[in-house]
Amino acid sequence: MFDAFNNGIVINNPYPVTRVEIIQAPLPDKVVLPLQQRIGAEAEPCVKVGDKVLTGQLIAQTPDQFCASIHASISGTVVAIDAQIIPHKSGLKSNCITIESDGKDEWIKNKGVGDFLHCSRETLIEYLQQSGIVGLGGAGFPTHSKLKKATNCHTLIINATECEPGIMCDDALMQHDAREVIRGVEVLLRITGATQVFIAIEDDKQEAYHSLLMFNHNERISIIQIPTKYTSGAEKLLIKALLNIEIPADELAINHGILCQNVSTVKAIFDAVVEDKPLISRIVTVTGDAVTPNNFEVRLGASFRHIVTLAEPNNKPHAVRMGGMMMGVNVATLDVPICKVTNCIFVNNAKPTPSIQECIRCGQCNQACPVNLLPQQLYWYAKSENTEKAMEYNLSSCIECRCCDVVCPSHIPLASYFSFAKALHRQTLKAQKKVYNARKRFEYREYRLVRNKTERTEMMARKKAELKQKWQATRLKKIK
């Protein structure tokens, strides 16, 4: 049997705090809201430059059923709709709406849904889309489209594992807003009709665990402690750990009647449905050895600098990383906006990277791999760009968690090699498909030419025969 906690690695929070707090960041002077979200088409702005907007007002929505709406996170004036740098590893620019604050933070009066227990599933799902709710754990998958698929859901899993060491925003949320989290779970229960809910929480978050216990009076909700180990928060591994169901690599959990939601998404759902507030702020952990680690509740679109300044950074050169220390992305500048998926900002003193040595196949990586791959073999094939062989070694199952990178004594960036090999494989497949299509077209053309030719000869033969018959008939007549 596969033990979900056999592999993976134990990393304790590298920058622990004595008390997990949520500090309210002051209103930013300006917010930058990207129109492109994690997946799907770019949203279309429904405001113009110069328009006055109120906090919570819809400013962009999308015809794409896949995406969620975007709301103004402060009240003020739209000053620009143009390309700005967004926090993405490519460092590319993307279209954003920039709003300058009037300092009043006037809210728009949203028409809520009223008592959610009297709402239909469809109404609630649509309302979540209008409220701009996406997965806040880091992937940013639109919640409504996940819920739409959950037609036959029996088990709901609330991921409160805090996906990576160092991040504390979910911990803080549960400690401070346990009641809201439980109520949010009840909204989800109403939408999905699930019969059981598991809130999975790591055993190093005792305070959060007890806060949740205190507010949980629903017998369908159970709060389960799991060992603190990195990658136990990965969706399929979590399902395996809790329910002992192994979801095949090419299937979705939802097809097995299991729905996973991050705990901060649940809180956002509560805010939207019960408090009539769209998603305009989130809790962000600022941590690292260059700052005083803490959590900040901040309006979306505020710059990284806005809250990093609050965390008292030192004056040395910094290396900034969005997301966790494991799967996050390095960002070049602090002047990028906080997005819905920005759960953590690491600000570390810039350090030289250790030099990379040869792989000696020591096998530390495959001991650490949470999905039981052989990174040492994959590396060999990824490096030589032999994607076919790499796929044979189940490259597609790699979750790019970087456990192998961390344990590698030769400091090889294995996960980067794997994500490169995956991209290369996709490209090869595309090229192969193109070749296949071209060949099919060519074959069809050949077939068509031959067919036309035979049809033509057949027709000629038939005509000839007809003529002959006619001629014979007339001759017969003549003879008669």
Interface residues with other proteins (CB under 8 A) are 2, 236-237, 240, 246-249, 355, 357-363, 366-367, 370-374, 376-377, 393-394, 397
Picking from 4, 10, 21, the residue whose alpha carbon sits closest to that of residue 285 is 21
**Minimum distance from residue 378 beta carbon to other proteins (Å):** 11
**Minimum distance from residue 41 beta carbon to other proteins (Å):** 30
Given strand 155-160, what is the order of strands in its sheet? 221-226, 196-202, 155-160, 258-262
Q: What is the 3-state secondary structure (H, E, C) of the chain?
A: CCCCCCCCECCCCCCCCCCCCEEECCCCCEEEEECCCCCCCCCEECCCCCCEECECCEEEECCCCCCCCEECCCCEEEEEEEEEECCCCCCCEEEEEEEEECCCCCECCCCCCCCHHHCCHHHHHHHHHHCCCECCCCCCCEHHHHHHHCCCCCEEEEEECCCCCCCCHHHHHHHHCHHHHHHHHHHHHHHHCCCEEEEEEECCCHHHHHHHHHHCCCCCEEEEEECCCECCCCHHHHHHHHHCCCCCCCCCHHHHCEEEEEHHHHHHHHHHHCCCCCCCEEEEEEECCCCCCEEEEEECCCEHHHHHHHHCCCCCCEEEEECCCCCCEEECCCCCECCCCCCEEEEEECCCCCCCCCCCCCCHHHHHCCCCCCHHHHHHHHHCCCHHHHHHCCHHHCCCCCHHHHHCCCCCCHHHHHHHHHHHHHHHHHHHHHHHHHHHHHHHHHHHHHHHHHHHHHHHHHHHHHHHHHHHHHHHHHHC
Q: For 257, phi and psi rounded to 5 degrees?
A: 80, 20
**Minimum distance from residue 9 beta carbon to other proteins (Å):** 13
**Minimum distance from residue 219 beta carbon to other proteins (Å):** 32
In the complex with other proteins, which residue's Cβ is closer, 134 or 401?
401
**Minimum distance from residue 397 beta carbon to other proteins (Å):** 5
Token pair belonging to 480: 């008669």
**Minimum distance from residue 381 beta carbon to other proteins (Å):** 12
Q: How far is CA 93 from the centre of its chain?
A: 20
In the complex with other proteins, which residue's Cβ is closer, 292 or 364?
364
In the complex with other proteins, which residue's Cβ is closer, 94 or 397?
397
**Minimum distance from residue 253 beta carbon to other proteins (Å):** 11
In the complex with other proteins, which residue's Cβ is closer, 10 or 117?
10
In the complex with other proteins, which residue's Cβ is closer, 360 or 476?
360
In the complex with other proteins, which residue's Cβ is closer, 83 or 249?
249
One-letter amino acid for residue 163 of the chain: C
**Minimum distance from residue 374 beta carbon to other proteins (Å):** 6
In the complex with other proteins, which residue's Cβ is closer, 25 or 238?
238
**Minimum distance from residue 344 beta carbon to other proteins (Å):** 26
In the complex with other proteins, which residue's Cβ is closer, 77 or 397?
397
Neighbours of 395 (CB within 10 A): 21
In the complex with other proteins, which residue's Cβ is closer, 163 or 191?
163
Query: What is the number of residues in the chain?
Result: 480
- The C-alpha atoms of residue 382 and residue 227 are separated, in whole angstroms, by 33
**Minimum distance from residue 396 beta carbon to other proteins (Å):** 9
**Minimum distance from residue 195 beta carbon to other proteins (Å):** 25
In the complex with other proteins, which residue's Cβ is closer, 115 or 358?
358
In the complex with other proteins, which residue's Cβ is closer, 317 or 354?
354
Torsion of CA 174, 180, 185, 187, to 10 degrees: -160
- The C-alpha atoms of residue 102 and residue 104 are separated, in whole angstroms, by 6
In the complex with other proteins, which residue's Cβ is closer, 99 or 238?
238
**Minimum distance from residue 153 beta carbon to other proteins (Å):** 20
